[in-house]
Chain A
Amino acid sequence: MAMVDEPLYPIAVLIDELKNEDIQLRLNSIRRLSTIARALGEERTRKELIPFLSENNDDEDEVLLAMAEELGVFIPYVGGVEHAHVLLPPLETLSTVEETCVRDKAVESLCRIGAQMKENDIVDFFIPVVKRLASGEWFTARVSSCGLFHIAYPSATDPLKTELRTIYGQLCQDDMPMVRRAAASNLGKFAATVEQSHLKTEIMSIFDDLTQDDQDSVRLLAVEGCAALGKLLEPQDCVAHILPVIVNFSQDKSWRVRYMVANQLYELCEAVGPEPTRADLVPAYVRLLRDNEAEVRIAAAGKVTKFCRILSPQLAIQHILPCVKELSSDSSQHVRSALASVIMGMAPVLGKDATIAELLPIFLSLLKDEFPDVRLNIISKLDQVNQVIGIDLLSQSLLPAIVELAEDRHWRVRLAIIEYIPLLASQLGVGFFDDKLGALCMQWLEDKVFSIREAAANNLKRLAEEFGPEWAMQHIIPQVLEKINNPHYLYRMTILQAISLLAPVMGADITCQKLLPVVINSSKDRVPNIKFNVAKVLQSLVPILDQSVVDKTVKPCLVELSEDPDVDVRYYANQALQACDQIMMSS
């Protein structure tokens, strides 16, 4: 056996580990395939490494996935574009494995390589790969082939082009629904490369077949094709061929197909132009907004803003707005929730008058919705409302909604509303906030759930940042410090946490005069957990405080704690003392 020079030893190990029993080592070697290739040189990479990889493709999916990915960027290591074709065989095999993510990655890499290959190389090497895969015995190969046509087609000669179109047509009629699905979902990409003349004939007939497939799962992928094809066709062709299909789809028996239409419909509006939109697409969309199936209404409601943006305000007010009104009292909370998350976007489209007259009542009713998600979605978009109608109109309804959410029995809802408080504060302004919301913020500090108390402490810090230390000195600090006498140690701990968060915002003076004494006092607490948290807080305060204060007040307290009977208190006290020393030395 050849002995390897010392500097080459690591790379020799890397190569050997391509076949190690440990998957992590194999994976590592594959990830560094480019290093191996450079060590071997371009010629040996082509003649040895690539064939080696082609033969050793029965590995774990994880390794195959990494190999598929690496090979996609391997052109420089095999000697440039003129040799790119040597990479096709291993990727061809990888695109036949049964694990979808490996196949997808292999197809992606094939496309990436194919896109760089020269035209005659495509004809000589790439197209044969596509044809082999498309006629593969197992469906996995045929599925993969569908994603390669758009790369192969532009470089093909005319007879080859005809053949490729025919093959694609066959794939769309494959026995296996998986293959038909792959063909349907890649049709848009392929169609974009096909000449206009064939587009209107062959591709459209393929598309028609797919739209009539008896498998729902195929038809709903054809819906996606509608928008893609629609953009490729001339408007009049789009109206003639695509429009009837999408209108049909919007009344499909299967709710999943209608759901897809609801999601895609707005994309088609531009392709068909304003008149057909008004005459056909708006009625179709209105039907979807009133669909029997809640899932369809959810999808449709979620697109209401996007759809309205394409329409003229009159059309939106005349046709869409009545539906929106209905949806705001829909029986499904998810529909209302979807509506609530987008409805604010309609305000700029409708203009101020229509918004106040029509949208505001809907908005207010959603704000009083019995489900917290709906209310939260409205509140989270508050900045958009504010721009249109101003806060005065809102505040009356807003406040009860916020208060109710703040006291919701699900802590996640309470958490969500706390996270919006700083946003609300900045929108509403100090005056409004002081009156109504200040008390709430304090109340959360004594919540039963830790996450809420934690968020409440954080919230106070953000409010202090928003309104400044002076305001905080008046409206936050006294109330917070008062709570340090709470009989329950967990609540006292929250206060300590709040202090450590507030201190940096408040600055050295206030920290020294107001906050520090409270912390020092707490070091006499009877609960060890409080004491070691005092140590932690003191450690965090040290950088803010003056050296003299640290020496006079903080250190003696920590020294005392470091002699505490409790081991944890001693530990954290010592940690804090060390930190003090380090800061001293560095300054």
Chain B
Amino acid sequence: MRHSKLQQQVLVLYRQFLRAAQNKPGFVPRIRDEFRENARIKKTDVMHIEYLYRRGQRQLEQLRDANTKQLGSFSKPERPAETL
């Protein structure tokens, strides 16, 4: 099945992110995780996808900026799932 217009845009964004993150340590694993995570969103949930796309574009601009240097993380041990 061919990709829809929106899917193509998201793939282009993914490629742009990976290219921009080439010389900056720590970004590539996070970019991969975020896109993998959000790939679960249903194709029909267009509002959510477009919101994430717009946010992604802003984050890409910031990544491209020469003053952004690297990505690290602070983490805590995993908590058990909260029952809602």
Chain A partners chain B: no
